A and B are shown apart, each in its own frame.
Chain A
Amino acid sequence: MIPDWMKEVDIGPCRCSAIYHGKKGFVGKTIDGILSFLEEAFISDSFSRRNGFLQSLDPRAKLVSILALIFATSLIGDLRLLIFVYMLTLLFSYLSKIDVLFFIKRVWLFIPIFAGIIAIPMIFNIFFPGDPLISLVYLGPGAHLGPFSLPDSIYITRQGVNNAVIFTMRVATCVSAVVLLYLTTPQNVLFKSLRTVGVPKIYVFTLEMTYRYIFLLMNLVREIYVAKKARTIRSRSMFEEQKWVGGRIGYTLIRSLDMSEKVHAAMMSRGYNGDVKIMQEFKMRNRDYISVVIAISMSVVLVLISQNIIR
């Protein structure tokens, strides 16, 4: 019998990454990157084992529902609808016992870097004309920046702000839906559920194996960099360091291909004949069917509204 304290699920994300002192060089950055990757994986895993609403659904039902919702979101051009769907993801994160603040942070951490670069210039009248909202500077006629001619005055446009907000919200809503999917589903179950959307068995198997070996290789890379850090007294010229990294990547590649031969031999000796069998342990219940029906019909309605078929 397993004692109760061993079965307890750790709730709440942990900060397990070490604090790195001093200026980070490429070695420190790599070690940090790997530690935060591992931390991220642990946190998602701890959420996926909580006793919440989405965790209790059949993974296939959840996958299909969320994919339908992402597809519908990618078609929406109306800000109110986007906000509605975004609020829905927040509601479901709450129902699934995920810290709503953590969830929001997790999503918006990705957004600003890329969407910001694209969305911020959109709000000015340099690229897209529109009605002025806030006037910034008056340049006078004939102003230009290098080869580009600029308008008489630069202002923030109403349409620009509207488009930029729609663009960012659409990206945020799609990311939220995906984050919700993987925060509430253990990886092995998530990969198996991909069978329902037509991914061949052999690739489901490959994905599962890849996921497992990523951690092994990550640890290998971390050890390489820690070993270097431990033995470094004075850093060498940049090219020497780059050569070192190139060599280590080459080494990791040779190591992983060699490992694949050994894994293959081990599989063969245990009776693998190329035929993949995946244990099917899912059971669709009524609530799963109901949620698929609700999610798909909501997606259809969203698509119809966004295409102006129903108003």
Chain B
Amino acid sequence: MHIPDGYLGPYTYIAFWIIMIPIWYYAGKKVSTELRSRQVPLLALSAAFSFVIMMFNVPIPGGSTGHAVGAAIIGIVLGPWAAVITISVALVLQALMFGDGGITAVAANCFNMGVVMPFVAYYAYKLISGNSEITSPIRIIASAIAGYLSLTMAATFTGIEFGIQPLLHHTAAGVPLYMPYPLSITVPAMVLEHVLGFSILEALITALIFAYIQKTDTTILYGETSEEQKNKMRRAVPIEV
């Protein structure tokens, strides 16, 4: 899922920078009014968490292991806008410190995993769970579907980004310069791989994490304004950005 440098041509990655800058700006504004002075520690710790979540290996059938992307559960727990910043920070760190994902492609990666995933996950979860009790099993199913849909959507977007490369960038003789395969190969390849594999794992893990949170501490969920949450807000002071 992490697109490296050299896969996307300049038109595509510059377009994603242009798309992402206002999204980051708006997300920053929104988060700083919502979280006030809690913003920095909360975002830093949850970004560290979204970095670490990929270290958790899970056994999967066939004797192998896999791991979750985790953007879906972060979207559900923190709300989509805080998730945009959280995941972007984790992705920038991965690109800068560990060479995972390209520098030019940071914006495209942030769009796929940091915008598409948490938004799809959050709204799918909201829509399905509706007004159900916070502890109802419907919400576990909702989080599983949210995990499944969000990763599949993110993979579809990645496939489309790859597939438009030969249309946008080729030499006069028609030789592709970047990702060489057309949409008819990249989209099915990315989507099938996820629909039949990774998305199922993401759904399972998202649901298991959600079930654990339901049992343990539901006050951390975004939009559940409990006494606990209000107390936390009372300690924070507004800040200017």
- Residues of A with Cβ closer than 8 Å to B? 25-27, 29-30, 33-34, 37, 40-41, 44, 67, 70-71, 73-75, 77, 106-107, 110, 114-115, 118, 122, 127-128, 159, 163, 166-167, 170-171, 173-175, 178-179, 181-182, 187, 190, 200, 202-203, 205-207, 209-211, 213-214, 216-218, 221, 238, 241-243, 245-254, 256-257, 259-261, 263-265, 267-268, 272-276
Contacts and interface: CB of A to CB of B under 8 A. Distances in A.
A25 B66 CA distance: 11
A70 B220 contact: no
Contact of B5 (A25, A174, A216, A275): A174
A238 B201 CA distance: 13
Interface of B: 4-7, 9-10, 13, 28, 32, 36-49, 51-53, 55-61, 65, 68, 70, 73, 77, 85, 89-90, 92-93, 95-100, 102-104, 171, 175-181, 185, 204-205, 207-213, 216-217, 220, 232, 235-241
B44 to A, nearest CB: 4
Contacts of A159: 175
Contacts, number: 251
A205 B77 contact: no
Nearest to A122: B180
A257 B48 CA distance: 11
Given A67-B103, A171-B7, A190-B96, A249 B56 contact: yes
Nearest to A266: B41
Contacts of A27: 57
Given A75-B10, A170-B6, A200-B241, A179 B232 contact: no
Across the A-B interface, the 7 shortest Cβ-Cβ residue pairs: A246-B208, A274-B239, A250-B212, A174-B5, A209-B44, A260-B45, A171-B6
Specify the main secondary structure of chain A where it touches its partner.
helix
Given A37-B55, A243-B208, A250-B210, 18 more contacts: A33-B55, A33-B57, A67-B103, A110-B4, A115-B4, A118-B7, A127-B181, A167-B178, A178-B95, A179-B99, A202-B28, A206-B85, A210-B47, A250-B216, A253-B220, A264-B41, A274-B240, A276-B40
